[in-house]
Amino acid sequence: MEVMEETDKLHSGITIFTPTYNRGYILGKLYESLCRQTCKKFEWLIVDDGSTDDTRTLVEGWILEAKIKIRYIYQVNAGKPSAHNTGVDHAKYQWFSCVDSDDYLTEDAIEKIMRQTDGLDVEIIGLLNARIHPDGSSITSWKKGTLDASLCDAYRVYGLLGDTMLIYRTDIIRKHHFPRFDGEKFVPEAYLYDQLDQEGKLRIYAEPIYVCEYLEDGMTTSMKTVNRKNPRGYEVYIKQRLWLDDRLKDRFSDSIRYVAIKKVIKDGRMVRDAVYPVLTLFAWGPGTVLYYRDYRSRMKDNQ
């Protein structure tokens, strides 16, 4: 399938992008929630990252039902960041948001997003809304009301807590991609968000429109194991964060994480490769403790 040229005109509305891998058993919840949307100005773009279950058959059946606009792309298993790159390159609508295969939207989500984007200042590159559990309880904590801020500042300065729903301008997010490393399939999502923060601010509404279920086979429940198995991807994220940190306490905290992941890699160039070599030396002790607590013990458990 051909990637859409950047000069092609994007349609008004939003691309709901879903990366999926062997999630046929749960994907129907998201499909049903999209069929119930009170506003239909969206496409559902599914990137199947090498599923071996009945995902393709299910999606082809939904496409035939023609209740909503669905596009399906299959790729050899390469991990969520690769699937995200594919989704961004193929999106056809002005706005882009990732909704994971085990989650779903409230029936008025698209309507609210379209209302929020109407007349939005061009310097605002995206929106932030809240997530809730299926029982309606909050996942996202935000007490500031409507505010414009970078995602990093929202968490580190303004007190945002918990996972959120992020919606970005497609022309902006298309400028940024996750890197790939041989033998690895993951780079933290914050790697991309930190780059997008340099493009502009988010309009934070924090309306609860995204329903999230943290399943046992989900990535969120095993992030430390994921990072250990993909150390180069985690290292590139931490080094980028260090370049962007403008507070000493953040630089020190991230230097501790940098030391820990370098020990996972068993890279003797820890100080030589460091963004802040002197700070890395001070972080050596705490970083070693973090390595043994979060990584070394898990490595032994999996041997």
Q: What percent of the chain has pLDDT over 90?
A: 87
| pLDDT digits 0-9 by tens, 54-65 | 999 999 999 999
How much is the average pLDDT of 125-153?
Answer: 97
Which of the four pLDDT bands, split at 50, 70 and 90, describes residue 164? very high
pLDDT of residue 301: 47
Q: Which of 76, 84, 122, 116 is nearest to 100 (CA)?
A: 84
Ranking 108-112, 117-121, 222-226, 252-256 by mean pLDDT, the lowest is 222-226
pLDDT of residue 214: 77
For residue 2, is pLDDT > 50?
no
Supply the mean pLDDT for the chain: 93
Distance CA 217, CA 282 (A): 37
Strand-strand pairing, 147-149 and 201-211 = antiparallel
Distance CA 271, CA 263 (A): 12
How much is the average pLDDT of 206-210?
Answer: 97
Which of the four pLDDT bands, split at 50, 70 and 90, describes residue 118? very high
Q: Which residue has the tokens 């882009």?
A: 96
Distance CA 292, CA 298 (A): 9
3 state SS of 97: strand
| pLDDT digits 0-9 by tens, 275-287 | 999 999 999 999 9
Which of the four pLDDT bands, split at 50, 70 and 90, describes residue 174? very high
Distance CA 87, CA 101 (A): 14
Q: Which of 260, 11, 228, 238 is nearest to 114 (CA)?
A: 11
Q: Taking a C-beta distance cutoff of 8 angstroms, is the pair 118, 39 a contact?
A: no
* Domain residue spans of the chain: 11-216, 223-301
pLDDT of residue 80: 96
pLDDT of residue 253: 97
For residue 127, is pLDDT > 60?
yes
Which of the four pLDDT bands, split at 50, 70 and 90, describes residue 101? very high
pLDDT of residue 221: 47
Indicate the helix (H) or strand (E) that contains 281.
helix 277-290
3 state SS of 66: coil
**Residues 6 or more apart in contact with residue 148 via CB below 8 angstroms:** 124, 201, 202, 203, 204
For residue 260, is pLDDT > 50?
yes
pLDDT of residue 5: 43
Distance CA 242, CA 19 (A): 29
- CATH class, domain 11-216, is alpha beta
Which of the four pLDDT bands, split at 50, 70 and 90, describes residue 298? low
